[in-house]
């Protein structure tokens, strides 16, 4: 029996484990974080300690502790000192990876995302490249992943232009769309009045019993929260099925820190557990599926052959823009729904959106792209409260609480009367945006931490300048008393630059045909090895303009089927 050893247990790791196990392989999953799910391989849906709890969100419950596992951040390679040390665009470190607290949004990448260089051309200063396959090659796997995790959507409402024009569908959504959030419908109506094309946002959230999981109860604690009812489709569905084969072992709190190599072949993964015990798990194939940043870090720690210095390069995060509208005359209850927003809009992802080409040309660029807009989100209760205390602390520092604070919370301008638009800005790949090993800072095990170098390029800044007024206009058309839009990371701007918090981590282990300009081939195998594979968002050649999880899983399924020998 062939054996695969996998670092990670999230979106890519879970689908790899399931595919290999069903093909008769023995699979061992080494997960750095804890397991918050009871009897995942037996009872279903699993019991969990997740709950509707704001405090877990703010206390690194499923996130890595930045004191034990920090990252460092700088905005350019020229910044030699004074850079930030702490959390930088972290994903959950726990069984299930990022899918245990994602919003479960599952839109599709477009055809131009896979062939961006061929279809749109180069961009000044960017390292734009094509993927080694096209949309039609991955579309059947997108269909299959939608069925595996259970995706809801409205087949009749998906706009033919631009969405189906660039991402045609062969099959219907496995589930019909759920009830629509009032705030999201309000913003969608504003968009429609301007001639735009919003539609019900595809999500892996149950609108009927599916895969043995219940219907969503619309509690509102979804994006950035663990689901207490298991109504959200995730890597857990795949891990459960994989464990039922009897050929999969899942070992939480076991951190992989090095790939053991003998010539071109990997022989296993070295690990350390929460008690400091160390060991090596050997196998015929090694899979890195720890996220773009952590898989690149593992490759660097292992000194995998990298003659062309491509490992860690072209890191992409999406460059978010946040719009918000305050509706003084009504309460919107934007926090009550399945997901965070129930409508989306992809018009701004189109490089041929009205006026976009001309604006780009005036700025010396061939084109610009915004990104998918999530319509109707609001603020968290604790975040709202902390903001009011900050304001009151500036106005009346002797008492930033009491009657004035209570009245602000009751009125709830920044939660119950607020509806937002979040634009996932298309992020071009730049060689200057990368992950390396920090020369000084170490984690609790004494290992070099990832050093993130990232800054938006001219394309991102110009696209944001073009779309901010349009985002504001949509909110005004929706009836907002006051509206505005700003770069999403504005509160974290400082001498180190904009510290990313998007939780979209792509690139660093780029997929491509040419070993001189990429790290892995079209099936995820590291060019310079015989049996080391990467199965996560690190392989992305472009960032697209949509939420990436569905595409991560589909690309991984394509690669895993090839590895398993089933295709």
In Å, how far are 14, 270, 403 from 429, measured between CA atoms? 27, 31, 50
From CA 152, how far away is CA 106, in angstroms rounded?
A: 9
Please report the pLDDT score of residue 394 as a whole number.
87
pLDDT confidence band for 489 (50 / 70 / 90): low
Q: Which pLDDT band holds residue 95 (cuts at 50, 70, 90)?
A: very high
**57 vs 15, residue with greater confidence:** 15
How far from 405 is each of 388, 389, 415, CA to CA, in Å?
Answer: 7, 7, 14
Instruction: Extract the tokens encoding 165.
Output: 């024009």
pTM, full prediction: 0.96
The pLDDT of 381-409, averaged and rounded, is 87
| 265-273/254-262 β-pairing | antiparallel
Residue 566 has pLDDT above 60, yes or no: no
Instruction: Find tokens 């992409």 and name the residue.
Output: 316
Mean pLDDT, the chain, as a whole number? 94
Q: Where are the beta strands (DSSP E) in 334-372?
A: 343-345
pLDDT 10s digits, 38-84 = 989 988 999 999 988 777 777 888 999 999 999 999 999 988 777 89
Res 379 pLDDT > 90? no
Confidence grade of residue 334 (pLDDT, cut at 50, 70, 90): confident
Q: At what angle do helices 235-244 and 135-149 cross, to 10 degrees?
A: 80
Is the distance from CB of 543 to CB of 507 less than 8 angstroms?
Answer: yes
What share of the chain in percent tops pLDDT 70?
Answer: 98
Q: State the residue for tokens 């750095």.
A: 32
Residue 493: pLDDT over 70: no
Please tell me the distance from the alpha carbon of residue 404 to that of residue 401, in angstroms, as a whole number.
7
User: Is residue 342 predicted with pLDDT exceeding 80?
Assistant: yes
pLDDT band at 494 (very low <50, low <70, confident <90, very high): very low
């Amino acid at each position: 029996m062939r054996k695969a050893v996998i670092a990670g247990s999230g979106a890519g790791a879970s689908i790899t484990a399931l595919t290999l196990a069903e093909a008769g392989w023995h699979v061992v999953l080494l997960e750095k974080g804890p397991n918050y799910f009871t009897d995942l391989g037996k009872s279903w849906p699993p019991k969990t300690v997740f709950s509707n709890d704001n405090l877990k969100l703010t206390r690194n419950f499923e996130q890595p502790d930045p004191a034990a596992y920090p990252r460092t951040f700088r905005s350019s390679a020229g910044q030699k000192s004074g850079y930030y040390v702490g959390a930088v665009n972290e994903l959950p470190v726990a069984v299930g990876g990022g899918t245990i607290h994602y919003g479960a949004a599952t839109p599709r990448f477009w055809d131009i995302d896979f062939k961006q260089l061929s279809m749109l051309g180069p961009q000044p200063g960017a390292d734009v490249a094509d993927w080694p396959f096209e949309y039609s090659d991955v579309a059947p796997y997108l269909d299959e992943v939608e069925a595996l995790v259970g995706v809801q959507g409205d087949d009749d409402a998906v706009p033919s232009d631009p969405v189906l024009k660039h991402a045609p569908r062969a099959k219907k959504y496995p589930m019909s769309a759920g009830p629509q959030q009032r705030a999201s419908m309000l913003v969608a109506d504003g968009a429609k009045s301007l001639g735009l094309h919003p539609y019900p946002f595809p999500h892996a959230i149950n609108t009927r019993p599916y895969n043995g999981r219940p219907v969503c109860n619309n509690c509102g604690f979804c994006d950035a929260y663990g689901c207490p009812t298991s109504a959200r489709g995730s890597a857990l569905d795949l891990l459960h099925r994989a464990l039922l084969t009897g050929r999969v072992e899942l070992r939480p709190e076991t951190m992989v820190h090095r790939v053991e190599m003998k010539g071109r072949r990997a022989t296993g993964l070295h690990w350390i557990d929460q008690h400091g015990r160390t060991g090596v798990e050997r196998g015929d194939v090694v899979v890195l599926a720890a996220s773009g940043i952590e898989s690149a870090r593992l490759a660097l720690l292992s000194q995998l052959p990298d003659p062309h210095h491509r490992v860690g390069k072209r890191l992409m995060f999406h460059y978010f823009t946040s719009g918000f509208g305050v509706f003084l005359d009504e309460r919107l209850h934007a926090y009550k729904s399945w997901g965070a927003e129930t409508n989306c809009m992809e018009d701004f992802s189109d490089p041929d959106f009205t006026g976009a080409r001309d604006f780009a040309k005036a700025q010396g660029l061939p084109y610009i792209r915004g990104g998918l807009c999530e319509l109707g989100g609001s603020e968290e209760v604790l975040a709202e409260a902390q903001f009011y205390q900050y304001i009151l602390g500036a106005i009346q520092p002797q008492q930033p609480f009491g009657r004035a604070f209570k009245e602000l919370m009751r009125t709830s301008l920044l939660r119950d009367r607020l509806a937002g638009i979040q634009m996932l800005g298309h992020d071009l790949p730049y060689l200057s945006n990368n992950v390396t090993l920090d020369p000084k800072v170490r984690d609790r095990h004494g290992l070099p931490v990832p050093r993130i170098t990232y800054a938006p390029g001219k394309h991102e800044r110009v696209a944001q300048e073009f779309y901010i007024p349009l985002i504001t206009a949509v909110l005004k058309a929706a009836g907002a008393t006051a509206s505005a839009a700003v770069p999403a990371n504005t509160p974290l701007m400082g001498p180190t630059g904009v510290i990313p918090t998007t939780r979209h981590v792509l690139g660093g282990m780029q997929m491509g045909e040419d070993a001189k300009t990429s790290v892995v081939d079209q099936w995820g195998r590291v060019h310079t090895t015989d049996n080391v594979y990467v199965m996560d968002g690190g392989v992305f050649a472009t960032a697209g303009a949509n939420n990436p999880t569905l595409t991560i899983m589909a690309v991984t399924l394509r690669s895993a089927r090839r590895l398993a020998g089933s295709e």
